[in-house]
């Protein structure tokens, strides 16, 4: 079964066709994709790609309604659209990808795979905000968690590579957006993001956790709500700390050149990352495997070393040579390290394809 994976980001469109054993049969990335009613990029890709049997879409937010992969029909599309306010950068793009694929491939099953779904196994103690109960009931306020497709694949794959299929895994998805997940036996039990993808770690341009009292104070001081939102989403994180930008590579170069703002930005980033890993370990009652994935997690050996250096008390012991030369799916911990540390290539597409195939096969069995 060939699966077309449609991964619509906030500014790009990633397309892949995965065949048997998840071999990549065709792929392309459309940068600066505007969404809307565009079918051209997908149509051009399909013109050169192998025939596909089913389409799997990444959707960032499933709210409480969508707790697993779901076959898309008009009602499901409407449900996804109703959640736009919770993920305004990503949800409209996912809908644009869904609409384009449904127009161009009307006879094929289309499946929505939700980033939030992986975290629906978290216990109530991890999902419940300590705010008035009336608020929680009226607006369904809870910690949803994100990057679930990436965490699901990375944690499962790292545990398999380590030979510990039921392991306690802390998964670090580190890119322009960043989050951690605590995974026990393949099930998410905690994560750093919350009601929105703003919470948790310091990110490229997003603030991560901020004292809510500070936000109230800023509004009373005269900062407009739109300016507050824009600042937290687009002008905070590494960009706000360093004033260089949100790309960690640029911040590290500035720090190496002696820029004190960039040095502080890296220190804050690593401090919060160590703190988060320790918190996820506490939620698991220990740690067997630590996995780094995402653009930063996979490629920044210095960051991995700095992070591990402050976590030796957990039994994390990196091998300098392995870490420096790390390749996809490589082990970077020393022989004898209590914690197996892995670098895993981010493959949301593999997770989407697996969920899509499983749902379609199950649906076909039910029809027989």
Return the active site residues: 115
Calpha distance 47→205 (Å, rounded)? 37
Contacts of 112 (CB under 8 A, 6+ apart): 57, 59, 62, 66, 69, 70, 71, 72, 76, 80, 94, 98
258 phi-psi bin (left φ>0, alpha ψ -120 to 50, beta other): left
Query: With contact defined as beta carbons under 8 Å apart, do 91 and 146 qualify?
Result: no
Range 260-263, long-range pairs (CB < 8 A, 24+ positions): none
Query: With contact defined as beta carbons under 8 Å apart, do 343 and 330 qualify?
Result: yes
State both tokens at 322.
Answer: 């392995």
Edge-to-edge, what's the strand order for the sheet holding 24-30? 24-30, 13-18, 3-8, 54-59, 110-114, 70-71
Calpha distance 55→347 (Å, rounded)? 16
CA proximity to 258, closest of 273, 246, 244, 237: 244
State both tokens at 55.
Answer: 């389409």
Distance separating the N- and C-terminal Cα atoms of the chain: 18
3-state helix, strand, coil in the chain (%, to 5): 45, 15, 35
Calpha distance 357→368 (Å, rounded)? 17
Calpha distance 340→337 (Å, rounded)? 6
């Amino acid at each position: 079964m060939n699966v077309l994976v449609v991964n619509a980001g906030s500014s790009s469109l990633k397309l892949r066709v995965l065949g048997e054993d998840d071999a990549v049969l065709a792929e392309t990335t459309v940068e600066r994709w505007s969404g809307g009613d565009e079918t051209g990029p997908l149509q051009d890709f399909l013109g050169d790609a192998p025939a596909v049997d089913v389409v799997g879409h990444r959707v960032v937010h499933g709210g409480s309604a969508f707790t697993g992969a779901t076959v898309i029909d008009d009602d499901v599309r409407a449900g996804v659209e109703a959640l736009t306010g919770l993920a305004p950068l990503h949800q409209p793009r996912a809908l644009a990808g869904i609409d384009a694929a449904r127009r161009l491939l009307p006879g094929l099953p289309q499946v929505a795979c939700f980033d939030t779904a992986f975290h629906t196994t978290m216990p109530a103690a991890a999902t419940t905000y300590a705010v008035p109960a009336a608020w929680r009931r009226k607006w369904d306020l809870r910690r949803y968690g994100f990057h679930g497709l990436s965490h699901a694949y990375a944690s499962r794959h790292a545990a398999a590579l380590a030979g510990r299929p039921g392991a306690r895994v802390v998964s670090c998805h580190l890119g322009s957006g960043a989050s951690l997940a605590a995974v026990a036996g393949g099930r998410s039990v905690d994560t750093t993001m919350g009601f929105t993808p703003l919470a948790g770690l310091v990110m490229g341009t997003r603030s991560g956790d901020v004292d809510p009292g500070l936000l109230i104070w800023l509004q009373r001081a005269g900062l407009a709500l739109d300016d507050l939102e824009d600042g937290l989403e687009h002008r905070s994180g590494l960009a706000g700390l360093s004033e260089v930008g949100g790309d960690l590579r640029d911040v590290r170069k500035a720090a190496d050149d002696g820029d004190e703002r960039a040095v502080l930005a890296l220190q804050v980033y690593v401090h919060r990352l160590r703190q988060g890993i320790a918190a996820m370990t506490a939620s698991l009652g220990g740690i067997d495997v630590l996995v780094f994935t995402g653009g930063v997690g996979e490629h920044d050996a210095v960051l991995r070393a700095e992070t591990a250096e402050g976590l030796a008390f957990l039994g994390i012991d990196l091998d300098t040579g392995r870490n420096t030369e790390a390749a996809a799916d490589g082990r970077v911990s020393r022989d004898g390290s209590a914690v197996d540390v892995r670098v895993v290539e981010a493959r949301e597409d593999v997770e989407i394809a697996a969920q899509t195939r499983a749902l379609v096969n199950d649906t076909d069995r039910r029809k027989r």
